[in-house]
Amino acid sequence: MRTDEMQATNDYPAQKPPTVHTHKSLWIWLAAALALVAGIWMYRSHASQVKSAASAAAQKAARAMGIPVTITPARRGNIAVYEDGLGSVTPFYMVTIHTRIDGQLMSVNYREGQYVKKDDLLVEIDPRPYQVQLEQAEGQMAHDQATLSNARIDLARYQTLVQQEAVPRQTLDTQVAAVAQDEGAIKSDQAAIDSAKLNLVYCRIAAPISGVVGLRLVDPGNMVHAADTNGLLVIAQVQPIAVLFTLPEDGLPPVLKKLRAGAVLPVDAYNRDKSKKLASGRLLTVDNQVDPTTGTIRLKAVFANRDNALFPQQFVNVRLLVDTERGQVLVPSVAIQRGAQGTFVYVVKSDSTVEARTLTVGITEGNSTAIVNDGLKEGEKGLQEGELVVTDGADKLQPGSKVSAKPDKGGHGAPGGATANPAGGPTA
């Protein structure tokens, strides 16, 4: 070998092939990764099995304890029978004030929307022309009284002269007629005076009723006339106030029966969406005919309206208390279920299982429903006072389901619109 080739070989030594140690390290890392993946999978599988076992145990325990439901006992009490209608508020009296004389409107002594009392002065019309008429009539009266006095003196003189046969009888008769004519003139003068005084009274217009004054229709300074079609102002009586409402003709017989017996039927007025009771009053009267186009009849109720909760032409929902059914078995309305078998409730028995009790419901008022226990149909048992009915959780139940019951504390146990009697008898 040449010297230069040997030198090159010494400068760049040849690379050695990979050793066996390097391959072993790679396999070790790969095995560790596989072991880690296997461990994670086994851990998750075990956790899932534990969770499934716990869930199964919980379900088993729940089945052993029963389905959680809320219950309340059926109660005995009174329930109200109402007739509902639509109505509008109307003033008990409404008066449009007109002038009874012609003249200039001098002053207005009220504010628009003001509550005025009967005999309060409202407006004044210029009284001067009628004061002049009064003075003229009084002057004419004085003139005619003097004429009558002179005629009576002449009559007395002629009566004496006739007795002395100094004047003819015809002269006396003429004087008697003259005195009667002057007395008639005096009566006419008195009527003219009274008319002038009455016109002066008409110059001051007072409120004929107590009520609320509407918007002013004529401003001061304008000429007003007795023949004007529009009035000066309108007064509406709002204390008390009336409500006109309608009911279906089918609901009329029990109402008439109560009225003819002298009963006082309470009436409640509610706002448009029935969320608030506005006032309470009583039924006043019923119209004398049914509207054949709608099959309804109008009724009139009166309200004291001391707080002015009702306003003329306001729309209201009306509830008329017709009767009160006493001693009924009552349950919360949420307990009533409906299905293919009809209307039923879930009744909790002594062994903590439920029975689907088919029954017939009566009147529903508020959150309370009456159960009909008379004249039961085939297969119906009715419902007795004190039996426990499910008010919450019924969607999970089937006949025979075991339940875990707790008392209803959400207000369903207090029947709305009904008076409960824990002692078992009907309340007064």
Q: Do 271 and 373 sit in the same domain of this protein? A: no
**Among the three residues 189, 205, 234, which one is the final residue of a domain in this structure?**
234
Query: Does 180 reside within a domain?
Result: yes
Residue 25, φ and ψ in degrees, nearest 5: -60, -40
294 and 314 housed in the same domain: yes
- Span 312-337, average pLDDT: 91
Are both 131 and 71 inside the same structural domain? no
Amino acid at 403: V
Whether residue 226 sits in one domain with residue 107: yes
Domain boundary among 325, 347, 376: 325
Q: What percent of the chain has pLDDT over 90?
A: 48
**73-87, 258-272, 354-368, 370-384: which range is least confident on average?**
370-384
279 domain residue, yes or no: yes
Residue 159 lies in a domain: yes
Token duo for residue 362? 């009566």
Tell me: pLDDT of 87 over 90: yes
Q: For 2-56, write each residue's pLDDT tens digit.
A: 444 444 444 544 445 555 555 667 777 777 777 777 777 777 777 677 676 666 6
Please provide the average confidence, as pLDDT, over all residues in the chain. 84
Does residue 205 lie within any of the structural domains?
Answer: yes
Digit-coded pLDDT (tens) for 288-313: 999 999 999 999 999 999 999 999 99
Of 193, 234, 230, 200, nearest to 103 by C-alpha is 200
Is position 8 within any domain?
A: no
Q: Are residues 210 and 106 in the same domain?
A: yes
Among residues 214, 234, 254, the one where a domain terminates is 234
Please indicate, yes or no, whether residues 137 and 176 belong to a single structural domain of this protein: yes
pLDDT at 175 over 70: yes
Query: Model confidence at 163, in pLDDT bands (50, 70, 90)?
Result: confident
Residue 72 sits in a domain whose CATH number is 2.40.420.20
Q: 110 and 179, same structural domain?
A: yes
300 with 316, same domain: the answer is: yes
Cβ atoms of 235 and 212 within 8 Å: the answer is yes
In this structure, of 54-68, 345-359, 414-428, the range with the lowest mean pLDDT score is: 414-428
> Cβ(282)–Cβ(318) under 8 Å?
no
Total domains in the fold of the chain: 4
The pLDDT-based confidence of 408 (bands split at 50, 70, 90) is: confident
In a domain, 3, yes or no: no
Q: How confident is the model at residue 425 (pLDDT cuts 50, 70, 90)?
A: very low
Residue 411 is predicted with a pLDDT of 53
Q: What is the pLDDT of residue 412?
A: 52
The answer to which of 27-31, 91-95, 174-178, 323-327 has the lowest mean pLDDT is 27-31
pLDDT of residue 352: 86
pLDDT at 56: 61
User: How many CB atoms are closer than 10 A to CB 240?
Assistant: 16
Question: Per-residue pLDDT tens for 367-401?
Answer: 889 888 877 777 677 888 888 999 988 888 888 88
Q: Which domain holds residue 43?
A: 18-58
CATH, residue 191: 2.40.50.100
Query: Which tokens is 57 given?
Result: 């145990």
pTM score of the predicted model = 0.65
Report residue 124 CA to chain centroid gap. Answer: 40
pLDDT, tens digit, 9 for 90 and up, residues 128-154 = 999 999 999 999 999 999 999 999 998
Q: Is residue 425 part of a domain?
A: no
Same domain, 220 and 100: yes
Q: How many CB atoms lie under 10 A from the CB of residue 232?
A: 20
In a domain, 11, yes or no: no
Question: At a CB cut-off of 8 Å and minimum separation 6, what does 137 contact?
Answer: 189, 192, 193, 195, 196
Say which CATH number the domain at 290 has. 2.40.30.170
**Residue 421 — pLDDT band, cuts 50, 70, 90?**
very low
Q: Examine the domain organization and report whether 260 and 227 are in the same domain.
A: no
Full 3-state SS string of the chain: CCHHHHHHHHHCCCCCCCCHHHHHHHHHHHHHHHHHHHHHHHHHHHHHHHHHHHHHHHHHHHHHHCEEEEEEECEEEEEEEEEEEEEEEEECCEEEECCCCCEEEEEECCCCCCEECCCCEEEEECCHHHHHHHHHHHHHHHHHHHHHHHHHHHHHHHHHHHHCCCCCHHHHHHHHHHHHHHHHHHHHHHHHHHHHHHHHHHCEEECCCCEEECCCCCCCCCEECCCCCCCCEEEECCCCEEEEEEEEHHHHHHHHHHHHCCCCCEEEEECCCCCCEEEEEEEEEEEEEEECCCCEEEEEEEECCCCCCCCCCCEEEEEEEEEEEEEEEEEEHHHCEEECCEEEEEEECCCCEEEEEECEEEEEECCEEEEECCCCCCCCCCCCCCCEEEEECHHHCCCCCEEEEEECCCCCCCCCCEEECCCCCCCC
Q: Are residues 43 and 122 in the same domain?
A: no
- Average pLDDT for 200-209: 95
Note whether 229 and 247 are same-domain residues.
no
